[in-house]
Structure formats: C-alpha cells, structure tokens
Structure 1
Amino acid sequence: MKNEFRSWTEVGVFLAVVRSGSTLAASRQLGMAQPTVARRIEALEHELGVTLFERDTRGFRPTETARAILQNAEEIEAAATCLAQTVETLRSTRPIRITAYSGNFSPRVATIFSEFSLLRPDVSFEFLPSVEVLDLSAGEADVALRVTRSPPHPDLICRKISTARYALFGSRSYAEKHGLPSSVEDLFNHTFVSFLREGVASAYHDWLIRYAKADQIRQTYSEIDLMHAAIRSGHGLGIMNVKLAESDDTLIQCFAPLEEMNSEHLMLIAPEAYRRPEVKAFAKFFAPRYAAIFR
C-alpha cells in the first residue's frame, strides 16, 4: 500500500457486509442505498489493493484476506465506539463556565438559569464571580457578562445587552447628616468611598479624582461589594450602577447619571465554546431574557 490508509469510515461498511453476507442486507443495517454500499466496498478494496469479497449470486463471501483483517477492523470499530462514548461523556459532564461581577447573578438572573435547567437538565453551570477580566479565548471561561468601555476582541461572539449607566449615590443616613450634592459642582462639602484594584479598570476612582480632592476620598476598597456596603452604611458617597442600585430603597441617587461613564453591557462567548450545541442553545435562551431585566 503506497498511500496512508484514510478509509476509516469504510471499515464499518466492510464489517456490515461480512456480518450480513450481502450488500443488500448491509444497506438495510446501515441505512444507505445498496449501490452506495457496493461502491464503498470497491473503494476500500482499491485503496488496500486487495480483493475482500468473492461476488456471486449467493452474495458477498469474505476472501482469505478479508478474514485475515477482520480482527483489525473490529478493533477499529471498538476504538471508534469508545471514542464516541468518551466524547459524549465529556460533552455531557463539562459545565458551561460563566464569569461576571457577582451582582449580575441576582435572584432574577438565577431564575433564568433555573428555567433553562428545567428544559435541559443535562447541562450544568459553573459560576465564576469576578470583577477581573477572564480571558475567554484562552479558555478561562466560556461566557462573560461584562460591562466595558473597551471594544471586545473581534473573535468573540458578542451580544449587546444594554447601555450601563452610573450615578453618584448616598445612603439615607448620610443624607440626613450631610445632605446630598445636586450637581458635580456641589461636591466640595462631601466625603467619598471608592473602588481601586490592580488589573481592573479604575473608572470609579478616576472620576472621583477628576471632580473631588484626594483627601475627600476617605475609604478605597479592592472589592466592589465592600464599596457598596460602605455607601449603604453612610460612610461616604460613591458611584454605583444605576440598574443595580434602583431596587435598594436605602440609597438615593444624587443627580443625573454620569454620561461620561456610560458603558456597554455585553454577553461574550468564546468561539470554541459557541461550537458546543449546549452553549449555543443556552445563549439563545438566556440572552433575550437577561436583556429584558435591563430594559
């Protein structure tokens, strides 16, 4: 044999003809036309350079060569079956890994996951709450729910969810003691809390530094949730996502949203992950329902 063997799919046809005794019976077993079965046997014989069957009116009788390679063919069949089973096991047990800021995994969002799980109980999820940007292309996660002012990598599957808006908020207890500013120009008598973390965009802190003095920023946190807790506790004013803050009646928005902080709220999917049928089905189900929460 001069060329490398490539007719792996013909091995199954060969075994079907050996076991059934004819191309007609094999065609019924394989679900293909009889002439197609005969052509594929001829193609296999041509590639191997041997005769595998004696043809007569009683059917196809395996030659001595066919009987000699029968065990090898059955080993190929067993390996292919094992491969398919392994892939199916990996596919069915591998969770969809989703990364987002923890606040995005709200009860309303959790309901969408629950509804999808009722439809697809075979699909599981792994949640990776983080403000850090995980690399989807490198396989650090499959799906990201991300708020950003930078364009995403062009290779990522992208669905815009909404425009995220931000505003300055204070607690009711802070307002009772110090009042609230009515505009950017009215910040000089107030104290602030901020978020700053290495490796994460510093938009919150940059805005405060631009419009307030450094000594007015009394506390700086490396976790957004801690900053939010400080705002609610009345330790200072701070910037929050308008949509996430609107359901908290302990907070008061000081003035109109800060237009310069508008960001794109995106659902991003790694191309490799999107090729998985369950990820594609999840994205189709989840995206419109998730977007409806932010309208």
Structure 2
Amino acid sequence: MIDWNDLKYLLAVAEGGSTLAAGRALRVSQTTVARRIAALEQAVGYPLFEKRQAGYALTASGEALIAKAQSVRSAALAFEEAAAAIQRGTAGTVRVTTIDLFANTFLAQWLVDLHERHPDVRIELDESGAVRDLGAGDADIAIRSTSSEAAAGVVGRRICRDEWTFYCSRTYADRHGVPRKREELRGHALIGGGGTMTWQVYEAILRDIGIADQVVIQQTTMGGLLTGIRSGLGIGVLPCLIGDGEEDLIRCMPPRREKKRWVWLLTHERVRHSPSVRTVVDFLYERLAARVRQLGLD
C-alpha cells in the first residue's frame, strides 16, 4: 500500500534533482528522503528515479506518474486552505460594486486570483456604476470615485486621484499623430459617450474646446469608451488608473488637476469586521496600491 506522504518526497526529488536538495526543501535528512523514495518504489513495484552523476532523473514510469502526484499535492493544499478558511470563518458572499470600466479590466483578473487564494469566498459583482448605499446594505464593498465626505458609518482607504485625460491607440497615433495639447485635438476623430454622468462632464469639456462636433461614435458605457479608443477609430478620455495601464494606448497629454476627486475602496462599519469582507478588502487594497505604484499615480 502506498503511503501518501511519500508523494511529497517524490515531488521534492523530481523538482530539486537530488535527495540532498529535497531534504533541504522538506527540512529532513538526505537519508530520510532516500528511504522514503525506496519505500515508494517498493510499493509501486518499479524504479521511479535513475541515479546519475549529476543527480536523480525520473524514469519513464516516474514521468508518467509525476503529474498525478502534483494533482494530489494541489488537492491537499486546497483541502488545507478550505479547512483553514472554515476555522477563520472567511467563507461567505461578498457584494462588490464598481464601474464597468474597472470590473472588466484589472478587476476581472484579480477576482480570478482572489478565488484561487480564497475559494470559500463568493463574489457578487455589481458593475452598473450606480452609487449603492453601503449603510443600507445594498453592497458590502465599493470601488468608486468621489469628491464628497463619506456618509455616516462608511469607512475606507484612499487609493489615488481620479484623474482623466485623452488617450489614443498606437495604431491611431501612427496614422494621425498624437495631440499633446487640448487645442491640438481639433481635426481629430473623437470617441464620445461613456454613460450619462460621464458624458455630461466629458461633453462640457469638448464644447469648451470647441470640438464637440468631432465625435464620430457615441458609446453608452465606459467600457464601450475604452473599446472605441482601443479600436483606433479615434481619441477619447479615460481615467489614468485605466489608460496608463493599457499597453496599446498612448496618453496624449497630462490630466488637469482642477477637481479634487479620489478613487476610494469603501466598506461600512456594520460589515468591516466580517472575516470574508475583511479578506476581500485587504486583497483589493493590496492590488490597487500595487497598481498605483506601478503606474506612478498618486
């Protein structure tokens, strides 16, 4: 009968290339590793390693079994994480609200990573952009931009300034050049829209410059605004937290710091000490702070 613990010795030798390296990784003696490998080979009935001058190499039989051993290790680690999560009480549903632009860019991949790290946490994602009342329980966590004081009981962490500016794709820049001042936007095709609230501010800027008639397509969402800019059809505005992280986009000009709006990660006093909510808040803050540092924002 196979001792399942011996599989960790099999993997350690396969990955380290020797019983010495495996012993160091597992914090046991080299003799113990060699003894457990011998026991495993006896249990399966054939050699799993070939001893060479440079170390240990898997036999053909060992190669055939190594993926199965890795699956056993993954299952064991997942079991440990699930057991620990139950002990910590992190299991539960957490409702997160934000704008579609955040939800469908960086947040999409982050939630994959969150699930892998905390499979016991279930996320309900509201990407409508509507301002949900955290105090009334409409959501547990919000990633939103605001210039006003937080409502009573709402607590959070400030992420960065909510600055927007004009961006174009690299293909658009190759064909038409990059305007470096607002006045230079005249003559360029523009992507409009972004939703009612965004378009009200955006359109006012275009009218102030005198280029509102240069909009060639109107998008109904902020995600559509990003898609239109990526396509190379024209130039449009995006938050720097998004635009500066897009490899295929070029920032046309620095943002104007006329209004003091900030991106916040918010929750409410009623749920902030819930293990599942705290787990998600800490995870998102870690990722958001890293993105801000990477992009050089403040």
Give yes or no for TM over 0.5.
yes
CA distance in 1: counterparts of 2:166 and 2:105, whole angstroms:
24
Q: Which residue in the other structure is 1:25 paired with?
A: none
Letter in 2 for 1:265: V
**Paired residues for 1:239-250 under 5 Å:** 239-250=237-248
CA distance in 1: counterparts of 2:106 and 2:211, whole angstroms:
38
SS at match of 1:208: helix
Q: What percentage of aligned pairs have identical amino acids? A: 27
Q: Which residue in the other structure is 2:187 paired with?
A: 189
Please report the TM-score for the alignment, with normalisation by the length of structure 1.
0.59
User: What's the offset of the Cα at 1:206?
Assistant: 2.7
Letter in 2 for 1:220: Q
CA distance in 2: counterparts of 1:198 and 1:166, whole angstroms:
16
What per-residue deviation string (whole Å, max 9, x for no partner) do you get for residues 43-70 of structure 1? xxxxxxxxxxxxxxxxxxxxxxxxxxxx
Q: Which residue in the other structure is 1:252 paired with?
A: 250
Per the alignment, do residues 177 and 285 of structure 1 end up closer, same or farther by CA in structure 2, a change over 3 Å counting? closer
User: What's the offset of the Cα at 1:223?
Assistant: 0.8
Letter in 1 for 2:285: A
Per the alignment, do residues 95 and 220 of structure 1 end up closer, same or farther by CA in structure 2, a change over 3 Å counting? same
User: Is 2:104–2:223's contact at 8 Å kept on the other side of the alignment?
Assistant: no
User: Is 1:109–1:290's contact at 8 Å kept on the other side of the alignment?
Assistant: no
Per the alignment, do residues 119 and 217 of structure 1 end up closer, same or farther by CA in structure 2, a change over 3 Å counting? closer
User: What's the offset of the Cα at 1:129?
Assistant: 1.8
Which structure has the larger Rg over C-alpha atoms?
1
CA distance in 2: counterparts of 1:231 and 1:119, whole angstroms:
34
CA distance in 2: counterparts of 1:265 and 1:113, whole angstroms:
19
CA distance in 2: counterparts of 1:249 and 1:111, whole angstroms:
16
Does residue 142 of structure 1 match 2:140?
Answer: yes
Structure 1 range deviating more: 224-233 or 113-122: 113-122
User: What's the offset of the Cα at 1:145?
Assistant: 0.8
What per-residue deviation string (whole Å, max 9, x for no partner) do you get for residues 103-141 of structure 1? 434676556555655665433221222222222222221
Q: Which residue in the other structure is 1:293 paired with?
A: 291
Aligned length in residues? 206
Q: What is the aligned counterpart of 2:228 among 227, 230, 238?
A: 230
Unmatched segments (≥5 aa) in structure 2: 1-85, 294-298
User: What's the offset of the Cα at 1:239?
Assistant: 0.6
Per the alignment, do residues 113 and 224 of structure 1 end up closer, same or farther by CA in structure 2, a change over 3 Å counting? closer
Per the alignment, do residues 196 and 292 of structure 1 end up closer, same or farther by CA in structure 2, a change over 3 Å counting? closer
CA distance in 2: counterparts of 1:111 and 1:218, whole angstroms:
31
User: Is 1:95–1:126's contact at 8 Å kept on the other side of the alignment?
Assistant: yes
